[in-house]
Structure 1
């Protein structure tokens, strides 16, 4: 049976987060080349929004909930992240990867900022046929707030749980979780209390590194480890070799 691997590309890896939807096409094609030579994996790809979505979400205050004056923000935020998603899919397909974009706005419903329902059965079918689903952080409708932003990190944890993914990786623009400039090799709920983990320094409505760790610790509670590493180590993660980053694991784990 093909192993399911959940890989997330951070928004800061594939865009310039200080710009306005500034897509790094060269980086996308480098990543696509790494994935194209590793066809045996049942891969699900998730990417962050970076500068394609975060500025719009903040401008329209999407996470504050919907009111008449900010309803257009649903369209503008989704359009921005969809543009980035199309660029990711195009790069993969140019490299020979059978990729297809999937938009959470179309298949998810949230409640107070958390996923309440999220259809994944068709994603499992895609994986079984060698298709790489490419999802992204997105604006979704919310039963309490009207709308909210669901981060790529929240999607990763839900996908891993629903699809039985035992390998979860987050490729970022840093070597892992850093403390005083050094990589913290292992994090669990005990260790995290002793760390000072900052948020993103750029426009980010989903919590930066703090948000990532919160999501991944919940995944660790379910017995699924995850890996945070520099984008240059993506091949090592996919090959199952040492990437020099951080493993988020259950308390008392190995």
Structure 2
């Protein structure tokens, strides 16, 4: 089986998170061009919702559980993130990448905000045939709450484990995890306990940078390292060269 690369584009990279579904088409096409030039043998792409979905999820209080009053929020939130997904797929296809969008709402089930069912066998089969699946943070049905938001970061960890990926990257609008303005080159659980990471400054219902670290530390516990870096370093990440960002790894690893 070909080694699978799982790459996430942060929502703040491809949208203006201070607006409402303000898609940065220029940035999307720039990133798509990089991915077309440096094609991984098997790539699974995940993107955050950014300003397409987070405002709706917060407005309708999706994570608080379904009621007759907020039921329309499931539709409006899913529609917003689906619009962004279509834009990402279109940009990739314009660049010559054989991309197809996949909506977690259609194939995932959560309980208390955590995925309990998520089919990935078809995703593995797609990559074997050169298709790039493009997933995204989404609203999904939840056995306890009725509905919840599953972040792109949670999807990354689930996909990495299911696909046995050893190359996991998160492209963001910052050069890595920062402390006092400087990139922390390596984080394990012991290091993470020594500092506090802030959340997103704009509307984000999935935990911001702290949420990313928590998800990736859990991934590291399974023996899979991951990397957080600036979006301009995607090429270096795919090439396996230094990206100047942060590596999330298991405690005690060198």
Aligning the two structures, in what range does the TM-score lie when normalised by the shorter sequence? over 0.9
CA RMSD after TM alignment? 0.6
Q: Secondary structure at the match of 1:247?
A: strand
Kept in 2: contact 1:226–1:248 (CA 8 A): yes
Quote the Cα distance in structure 2 between the aligned partners of 1:167 and 1:144: 33
Question: Which position in structure 2 is the counterpart of 1:144?
Answer: 144
Question: Which position in structure 1 is the counterpart of 2:180?
Answer: 180
- After the TM superposition, list the runs of 4 or more consecutive aligned residues in structure 1 that deviate by more than 3 angstroms: none
Q: Which moved more, 1:52-61 or 1:190-199?
A: 190-199
Q: Secondary structure at the match of 1:139?
A: strand
Quote the Cα distance in structure 2 between the aligned partners of 1:209 and 1:37: 29
Shift of 1:3: 1.7
Quote the Cα distance in structure 2 between the aligned partners of 1:73 and 1:232: 34
Shift of 1:39: 2.6
Kept in 2: contact 1:2–1:40 (CA 8 A): no
Q: Secondary structure at the match of 2:155?
A: helix
Shift of 1:195: 1.4
Question: Which position in structure 2 is the counterpart of 1:67?
Answer: 67
Quote the Cα distance in structure 2 between the aligned partners of 1:27 and 1:35: 12
Quote the Cα distance in structure 2 between the aligned partners of 1:193 and 1:147: 31
Question: Which position in structure 2 is the counterpart of 1:237?
Answer: 237
Shift of 1:40: 4.1
Q: Secondary structure at the match of 1:51?
A: coil
Question: Which position in structure 1 is the counterpart of 2:251?
Answer: 251
Question: Which position in structure 1 is the counterpart of 2:168?
Answer: 168
Quote the Cα distance in structure 2 between the aligned partners of 1:40 and 1:20: 32
Quote the Cα distance in structure 2 between the aligned partners of 1:17 and 1:136: 16
Q: Which runs of 5+ in 1 are unaligned?
A: none
Kept in 2: contact 1:219–1:225 (CA 8 A): yes
Quote the Cα distance in structure 1 between the aligned partners of 2:65 and 2:161: 27
Paired residues in the alignment total: 254
Shift of 1:115: 0.1
Q: Which moved more, 1:7-16 or 1:34-43?
A: 34-43
Question: Which position in structure 2 is the counterpart of 1:49?
Answer: 49
